[in-house]
Structure 1
Amino acid sequence: MSESGPSKEQNPFRSGSESDQSDSQSNHSQSNHSQSPNDNQASSTAPASEKESKKQKTKGNDTKAKTHFKKFWKYYAIGVVLGLAIFLPLLLVKLAKRKFKVFIPLIIARFINSRNILVQHADVFIRNSKEIEFAANASVKSPLGARVGDLEFTLHDTTIPQPPTVLSADIKGFPIEKATKIDIKQGLLHVNDSDALVDWADRFIDSETIPFDVRVKGLDVFLGVLRYTFNLERPISINGLRGLNDITVNEVELMLPPVANKNVQANVSLSNPSSISVQVGNATVDLSVNDIKIGEAFAYNISLVPGVTNVHIDGLVDIPTIVSNLGRIIRGQASELPAGHVNLQMQVTSFTMHGEKIDFLGALLRKRVLIGKVPLVTLINGAGTSIIKTGLVGMGMANGAATGGTNLLDAIGDVFSNATLLNRIQGHWGQKRTREKSKYIAF
């Protein structure tokens, strides 16, 4: 049964067409409202479906790749092996070149920079006050033979708190043999600080060994075509002259009358315990005995070599001064005469090389008095024989001048009348004979 009244689907107050239109509009609006939530859900689920499709594609590609690799893995393995065989050696060679260019010379540089450099021998030629030529042999431990490039080095006196640059030099490259020898054939030293050089050389004369600090900036070490550059700062030790204490006048000859204003010739030997040969040119020397100046001598082409050096000198001695002060001189030598020699004081006043004065050598030795021993046998055989041959004994003349009323015989008589001096000499020789006899008895 149907209820009475108007129907919900049709409006009784409207016409059929209007009711159809309104119904269609209401149905359209209802459909719009009813479909909006579904549309939002569809829009939110769209990206998720795209991601899933991408994942499925990648999974499919991975599966294909795995399948392909499983099928052809042998060929890939062969290709990898061939590639390594071709390119790996090239890569290793390239890396090795980079490393060995630094590594091997670095080993040599480290060895050089960590070892003391021993100067075996050095030749020094003093050209003038500002330049010194030299050549040197040194030793240093090196694991391999190598070559050192051209370099500039400086020498520093490390005994001073702020070591000054005493000398500097530019030298050509040289090889370092595996036998640890360094040979510098030629170099030129520049005197940077003459005062510092004089101070160092003064200690060099008195010392047994003396240090010097060698510094090189940008030293190149080569091993074939490989090169490594580093800074060197190493000490070197040089044997000193130990005071130049061993100076002996071996031969003395008087030339009477004088020749070319010179009346004496002598041969002087001195010991050089260092490893340095030094050519210093010509020297002018004042001669004194007991602070009494007796003359002046000249030494020519002095070349101080390791070991014993013989230097020829000539000059003019003031024979009248010697004769008039003979008693005083011999009494002043009372402590030396028993040992069989006389001490001769020698003070260098100037050095010249090719006519040019060497200032720093003069400054070095002007303040130093060298002591030379003149054996009595040499003095008597040389000077005494010359005087006797010339017939000056008993005459009031010597060297062409009067001796002030004192002749040689009177001076000798004054000496031998000194009983104290003769007793000391006799006592010395007596003690010497006793020691010699005791040695024979002991044996």
Structure 2
Amino acid sequence: MPLHPFVSLEAVPKLFASALALASSAVFAPPARTGPIQSLLGLPEWADLSVTVTAQPMVGVVGGDQPGASNWYQAVSLGLSLSSGFGKDQDNWSELDHWQLNVEVTSDAGNPNLNTDLGSAFTLQTLVNPVGTWLTEASVVRNRGRGWWEAELGLMSLEPVMTGEPGFVAAPVMSSYFSSVFNNTMNLLVVGMPIDPFVAPGLKVKAHSESLGSLGYGYFYLNPQTTIASSLGANPGIPEVQGAMQALQWTRNPLPSRTDLSRPISLRDTQASVPRQLPLPELQLGGYLTSTRLLSDDADALGEGRNRGIYGSITWPLDLPVGLDSRLWAAGTVSLDPENNPYPTYVGGGWLTQGVVPSRPRDVVALGLQRTSFSSTLSPGKSYEATIELNYSIYVSDMLQIQPVMQWIINPGGLGNTPGIWAGGIQLNLNL
């Protein structure tokens, strides 16, 4: 079955932002140079090479069309970043130090059909994409540093894979989840949108003010998207699309005075501290516009044409009697052209806490809930599909993290005739 929303509205897997990216603040940061490959090869300070292996085995425990169905899916990403600014104090950067070159290739392997076997409209894992090797980024970035503007030009997705920035239609807090409906672009699957691993030629620019926040604009030229996707031999399973996409987004830290939230956490009754795993507070409001034409016979059924929408999210700190640090978040999208958008509304929210177990101060527990509606025009008879996820991220080391997860899929497929799905899995992250 085709594996992209451009092709199928019956079983649409997620083509989302990488689950490998860590949540970060609004400033581009030089990559963490702690991987063993970096040291083993003795690379110079201005070069950063990373290899990340992520596996997401999953099983539908109860419910669905085929109870007990399971799969294994994994991704291997090889990334290279070059910048003279790596390892330097940003206060001492020259103009050349602001600039960075990124190239990343990702290889996806495994069985991508678990959601269709179970009857879910959306994939239960973030990683699931059409199998193959993908060019997932090739861009030049101007990091803001201590300045007021930043930019990116090249082949890229809506959400950047390598810079650590949340990008458009995504919030850093979402990277803590396992399911595709959370760890993504708010489950927004509009025809032609370049969502990882799909990339398109584009430009992103952002202006930053300490008092007003950041205002970003993105433009993507969609015509060569299919050619780029298949350039390394992958079969993207999508028709050719012509058109463009634009996005405008405002982001701000609503609690700039809470400077403690950007510092390590001091452990109670000790002199030790641990890095903070949860992102800073954030308000996000944005809008998008796509204008597309699909070169296929069934283009009218796929929602081509103009698609406009607005989206927003909020991430807020909580002081709880359990754990060391907590966040509450909520997010949503609304389509202004529901007759063209296969999923016109999305609402989600959740809670995260770091250090619930005193002996495991860097572990994070996360709970998330979401509901996605189906278009009455493009998917008549379907109403909604919802997901509840509970996961626990176990920090073993900078090299290895393990994340067991449980999910409950409510009203799978949206028709009301598939039993709810209880599923379990685990994510293994190996950072080399």
> Higher Cα Rg: structure 1 or 2?
1
TM-score, normalised to structure 1, is: 0.19
Identify the structure with bigger relative contact order (alpha carbons < 8 Å, sequence gap 6+): 2
TM-score, normalised to structure 2, is: 0.20
Name the one with the larger helix percent.
1
